[in-house]
Chains A and B, each alone.
Chain A
Amino acid sequence: MAAYDGLFQTLGLSDWCDQNKTDGPMTMAELLAQSGKKSDDTASAEPATSFWDTPFPSLDELNQSCKSIARTRDMTSWVEELFLSVKDTLKFVLDPLTQPLSWALDGSLWLFQALPWFVMIPLLLLVVWAATRSWALIGFVAVSFLFLSFIDHYVPAIQTLSIIFVCTGFCVALGVPIGILMSRSNALQRFAIPVLDMLQTLPTFVYLIPLIFLFSVTESKLYGIAIILYAIVPVIRLTDLGIRLVDRDVIEAADAFGMSTRQKLFGVQIPLALPNIMAGVNQTIMMSLAMVVIASLVSAPGLGVLVLRGIRNLELGVGLVSGLCIVLLAIVLDRVTKASLSRINAAQQH
């Protein structure tokens, strides 16, 4: 005896209800009861009788009184079927499009590891010098990497770094043009902002799910895409903002001297938006680092794998030490990008 039996009887729908009974998968309640840690679920077995206990007329609840009504689990399986039916087409389009990402990730992983440490570390220091011109920072970065190597975390750290380099490169290459287009068109901006909000607020695991169905877990583009989707947002946002904030008087002067759209973009708008764009790149790097740890769930190599091992095998020390290494890497990346950002700012204060 279910709660809404009376309703269907008074409506005279009993016949229709019994006509085609569905015996689909289990209900949501059964699903939750099964996976949950034996929560007290006896109440759902006994149909409620008192007025205070009237359950919400959900799909599952209505189905108990009228078998013709689909259950919530039927709905989730429709969603699943829908996704599976477009999956092949999606895969057919996306696979070749994203192939370069796999190549770039694998290539750079190979390169970063092929170079011996005594070449790699000086090379990194050279990059830091080019970006910041600061001896203090070079000293800090050198000490950090020597420490990482000394405690035998050099290889995973360099793997993580390589993934971040590639993903940040893709984020900038895609995000800056998208941001420029957004700054040109208010319609595009109105459409893009909710999408960007969604990318940033969706729990990261949620977009791992469809990605796992689309690509095989052994392919590196799987985690590449997950990282890029998550980390590209600040570059796009701040490019758009930066270009919109360029002094209108300067733009007017550029127009008055007959600059073409191209000359204006590369000669005025991008250079003047550069401090904002670089602030976006800094955030993008930090977000890729956060995501690269989660992406180790789907076979991304690097420090995240060690953290994951710490969780899985309850190896407390392994997890904590590799976590510390991630923090160190984060500080290095943040300081270096911030220092190069303030160099750009100093060059064009006005």
Chain B
Amino acid sequence: MTNDPKVSIRGLYKIFGNDPQNALQHVYNGMGKTELLETHGHVLGLQDINVDMQPNEVTVIMGLSGSGKSTLIRHLNRLIEPTAGEVIVDGENVLDYDEAALRQLRQQKMSMVFQKFALLPHRTVLQNAGMSRIVRGEDEETANLAGQKWLDRVGLGGFEGQYPHQLSGGMQQRVGIARALASDSDIMLMDEAFSALDPLIRTDMQDLLLELQQDLHKTIVFITHDLDEALKLADHLVILKDGYVVQQGEPQDILLNPNDPYIEDFVSDINRARVLRVRSVMKPLNGADSFAGVVDANDNLEKLIELSGGDTTYAYKVQQDGQDVGILDMKDLVRALVPAHASESTVTR
């Protein structure tokens, strides 16, 4: 741990139903999701979630439909109240906040982007973008200035006077992102922000987000059910299933060492050569100095296969920021392309 986490979720449980506290006792005693629903009629939304979200990082929460992703992200700004647990933001437990402090948090520290955009249909694009400023009580001029700045930044200059229904889905979501950015909050929550967009626009938006993140260094919590998207964006990947965390960590690490058949299924369809990076499969420097060439630690494996022409006898020197950091043996590379299984994963490690 280099830093204190920006957001820290501790022992979080959420149970939907009439008597969640009572049902919680059963869950503490080891009852599972299906059994709880059958015997007590309560839905176990989240169980024992512990996640640290580092500042300036993109934490991606991934899982299939119904795994509790939306429920989890709504606990961060308390759109949903937990049944048990803590949500700590900048060292303060959000659950101790009264209404005023909570509004303060939502206005200043956290902003949110929604799957269905959720723009105000009766307000112009500019008014929507500056909304968070008006809510905070700032005057219209400041709000418009901030709105304008971020609309320009997301490539929507010239559309200020339009209404949301006059824009395409991709453009509406750009407004949604501008709205979230205009509040200058440290933390940005994005609930399947790109899922409603078609694939090309979606790639554009992912690139836009990464580009913005390079300048802004926000703490982003991003939800998706798409593994490609998750791997592209994530610094830290959390995989949810039936309301609990199956595995979390560096995305490359999860890909190479899945600890659950559920995750193996997830990663089996992925183009590993394109996603895996040299740094994840290289070996430490061992004094050898006959290399076929020099590669960057962040190159993906596809690029190396192309470089080597498919010859597995080669080895490359790996550099990062001009420093020698390791050796890549093409045989290791080929081995990494075969999906690992949960049982073997400990051996490879």
Task: List residues of chain A with CB under 8 Å of any chain B CB.
Answer: 247, 249-250, 252-253, 255-260, 263, 267-268, 271-272, 347-350
Contacts and interface: CB of A to CB of B under 8 A. Distances in A.
Interface string B130-173: 01100110000000000000000000000000011100000000
Nearest to A264: B135
A258 B79 contact: no
Contact of B121 (A256, A267, A350): A350
Contacts of A252: 79, 114, 118
Interface of B: 77, 79, 102-107, 110-112, 114, 116-122, 131-132, 135-136, 163-165, 179, 183, 189
Given A257-B135, A257-B183, A259-B135, A250 B107 contact: no
Nearest to B105: A258
Nearest to B131: A257
Contacts, number: 63
A250 B106 contact: no
A274 B70 CA distance: 30
A257 B118 contact: no
A145 B97 CA distance: 62
B114 A260 contact: no
B11 to A, nearest CB: 24
A263 B133 CA distance: 13
Contacts of A256: 77, 79, 106, 110-112, 114, 189
Contact of B112 (A257, A259, A260, A348): A257
Nearest to A251: B118
A249 B121 contact: no
A255 B106 contact: yes
Given A258-B103, A258-B104, A350 B165 contact: yes
A152 B95 CA distance: 72
Nearest to B176: A253
A258 B107 contact: yes
A272 B136 CA distance: 21
A252 to B, nearest CB: 6
A257 B163 CA distance: 20
A267 B131 CA distance: 10
Chain A interface mostly helix, strand, loop or mixed?
helix
A23 to B, nearest CB: 61
Nearest to A274: B122
Contacts of B165: 349-350
Contact of A255 (B79, B131, B163, B164): B79
Contacts of A260: 103
B120 A268 contact: yes
Contacts of A268: 120
29 contacts: A247-B118, A249-B116, A249-B117, A250-B118, A250-B120, A250-B121, A252-B114, A252-B118, A255-B79, A256-B77, A256-B79, A256-B106, A256-B114, A257-B111, A257-B112, A257-B132, A257-B135, A258-B135, A258-B136, A263-B135, A267-B120, A268-B120, A272-B121, A272-B122, A348-B121, A348-B163, A349-B165, A350-B163, A350-B165
Nearest to A349: B165
Contacts of A350: 121, 163-165
Contacts of A272: 121-122
Nearest to B180: A257
Nearest to A344: B122
Contacts of A263: 135
Contacts of B120: 250, 253, 267-268
A234 to B, nearest CB: 23
A324 to B, nearest CB: 41
B124 to A, nearest CB: 11
A288 B101 CA distance: 48
A348 B118 contact: no
B118 A253 contact: yes
B105 to A, nearest CB: 7
A193 B121 CA distance: 30
Given A255-B106, A256-B111, 20 more contacts: A249-B118, A250-B121, A252-B118, A253-B112, A253-B118, A255-B79, A256-B112, A256-B189, A257-B106, A257-B112, A257-B131, A257-B179, A257-B183, A258-B105, A258-B136, A263-B135, A272-B121, A348-B122, A349-B165, A350-B121
